[in-house]
Amino acid sequence: MITLIDYGAGNLASLEGALDRLGLEYVRAERPDQGAETGPLVLPGVGHFEAAQKALRDRGWWREIPGLVADGRPLLGICLGLQLLAEGSEEAPRATGLSLLPGIVRRLGPGVKVPHMGWSQIQPNIPHPGLPDAKGAWLYFVHSYALDPGRETVYTARHGRPFSAVEARGTVMGFQPHPEKSGPAGLLLLQSALAWMGAAAPTPEAPCN
């Protein structure tokens, strides 16, 4: 069972629609005690880094997430959710991230329109056992900040400069694009990531003969 972390700063409706299309079971949880006892955690997000951090603190998630990951729970961050997994962000210099992924999130540019709202191609950086070869796939982005590519970067994209589109370390993964809004390529990445994390569509019951 997938736990969708609901802290009031994520567009959960479109993500829930994508999970429904994929036939994946999930529960929406405003607080840790409302989540599933096992299975992947999904941290979506839009908006400001510090406001999201405060909302996660207020609902008990900020303290709980690192412990759940240490206990082996897989975690997928999406858009701002990826940025919160990093060490920090230029958007909120006084706030710290969860430090589950390396690096500081930096503003995009210079020389390009920010926020970046639209489609960009992704290119492979390192292989990952849970993700397909998505070289050249177009995904949908809405963001002003991103991680620089590094050793943990699975796919890169470009908007004024290269940035990390998908980041992974251990059982923690982050998507900077919105896979649920990225058509078949995005759904394939989302399905592949969650399947690798242990989520699977229910097996149909065998018919009676």
Burial class (CB in 10 A: 0-12, 13-18, 19+), 151: exposed
| Residue tagged 């996660």 (tokens) | 56
Interacting residues of 47 by C-beta distance below 8 A, sequence separation 6+: 9, 80
Residues designated catalytic:
79, 178, 180
- Are 159 and 123 in contact by the 8 Å Cβ rule? The answer is no
Residue of 89, 81, 80 lying closest to 65 (CA atoms): 81
Q: Which tokens go with 6?
A: 């609901």
